[in-house]
């Protein structure tokens, strides 16, 4: 019986018409293939010689319903370069859920199985978006170094996000943009993978990648001026780490 159901759902996945998105990928010279056994696809491309990947299919996060669009790119960033932007409704929901789980279980720490999006809301300070009023109405952000997080968002990325709130993100769907383990990630709820929507998400992602590198350069510039009195710093980003919440601001 179970095998029959699997074959039934597999056949339905194959029936989805992905002509529009596959032709879009072909016109741009991108690699396109259906995801095996799933109702989804994978697109591979490059930006400035570095590979990126788009995936669309069943969600990998419980806060996304239906289908999820995921983009990721390896940039060899410092492992402690941790910045996170979420759609405002999602941020509010995850903060409530994290608080409820923490309170109900009487835990003293958030477990490692909890998604980074939830753990970081507890671990890192919020990025002050008061100077980006349009952005603040739709998004919230945290970062291991808030000043660098603001540098990441300000300028071209803020403009791209504001424009996306009129199209791709018009209804404030679950949306996450983050740097994690040396990579840049974008994930969002997307019911139908129309080429126009995917193209908009890719353009937004490419802007985020460019601004991530700018934020890193800014952090390294500040760190290089401070490193003369602290040659033991392992990375420029680590040398700029803020004092964790609750830790005295004395010697660390």
pLDDT digits (tens, 9 = 90+) for 142-154: 999 898 899 999 9
Kindly tell me if the per-residue pLDDT of 8 is higher than 80. no
Query: Residue 205: inside a domain, yes or no?
Result: yes
Q: What global pTM score does this model have?
A: 0.81
Phi then psi dihedrals of residue 168, to 5 deg:
-60, -40
Query: Residue 239: inside a domain, yes or no?
Result: no
pLDDT digits (tens, 9 = 90+) for 98-138: 877 666 555 545 555 678 898 899 889 999 999 998 899 99
pLDDT digits (tens, 9 = 90+) for 24-42: 999 999 999 998 777 899 9
d(CA 18, CA 59): 18
Higher pLDDT, 248 or 166: 166
d(CA 201, CA 45): 14
Across the range 167-171, mean pLDDT stands at 96
pLDDT of residue 3: 46
pLDDT of residue 22: 96
- 11-20, 62-71, 142-151, 161-170, range with the lowest pLDDT: 11-20
Across the range 33-53, mean pLDDT stands at 91
Query: Residue 6: inside a domain, yes or no?
Result: no
pLDDT of residue 16: 83
Q: What angle do CA 129, 203, 61 make, to 5 degrees?
A: 70
Task: Name the DSSP class of 233.
Answer: -
Q: Strand 68-74 and strand 139-143: pairing?
A: unpaired
Strands (E) across 103-145 are located at 139-143
Across the range 172-195, mean pLDDT stands at 96
Q: Strand 50-57 and strand 41-47: pairing?
A: antiparallel
State how many domains the chain has.
Answer: 1
pLDDT digits (tens, 9 = 90+) for 227-244: 555 554 445 454 444 434
Q: Which two tokens stand for residue 249?
A: 């601001």
Nearest to 140 by CA among 66, 204, 124, 156: 124
Q: Which residues contact 109 (CB under 8 A, 6 or more apart)?
A: none
Across the range 89-99, mean pLDDT stands at 91
Query: Residue 176: inside a domain, yes or no?
Result: yes
Where in the sequence is the domain holding 194, given as residue range(s)? 17-228
Task: Return the percentage of the chain with pLDDT > 90, whole number.
Answer: 60
pLDDT of residue 188: 98
């Amino acid at each position: 019986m179970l095998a029959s159901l699997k074959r039934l759902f597999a056949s339905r996945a194959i029936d989805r018409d992905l002509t529009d998105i596959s032709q879009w990928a072909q016109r741009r010279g991108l690699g396109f293939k259906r995801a095996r056994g799933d109702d989804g696809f994978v697109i591979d491309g490059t930006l400035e010689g570095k590979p990126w990947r788009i995936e669309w299919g069943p969600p990998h996060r419980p806060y996304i319903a239906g289908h999820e669009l995921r983009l990721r790119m390896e940039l060899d960033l410092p492992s402690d370069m941790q910045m996170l932007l979420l759609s405002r409704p999602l941020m509010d929901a995850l903060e409530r859920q994290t608080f409820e789980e923490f309170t109900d279980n009487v835990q003293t720490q958030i477990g490692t199985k909890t998604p980074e999006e939830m753990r970081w809301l507890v671990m890192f300070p919020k990025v002050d978006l008061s100077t980006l009023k349009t952005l603040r109405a739709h998004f919230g952000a945290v970062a291991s170094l808030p000043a660098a997080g603001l540098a990441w968002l300000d300028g071209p990325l803020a403009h791209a996000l504001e424009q996306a709130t009129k199209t791709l993100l018009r209804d404030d769907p679950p949306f996450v943009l983050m740097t994690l383990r040396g990579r840049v990630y974008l994930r969002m709820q997307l019911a139908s993978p129309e080429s126009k929507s995917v193209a908009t998400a890719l353009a937004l992602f490419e802007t985020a990648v460019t601004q991530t590198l700018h934020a890193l350069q800014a952090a390294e510039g500040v760190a290089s001026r401070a490193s003369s009195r602290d040659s033991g710093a392992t990375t420029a980003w680590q040398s700029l780490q803020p004092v964790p919440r609750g830790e005295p601001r004395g010697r660390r």
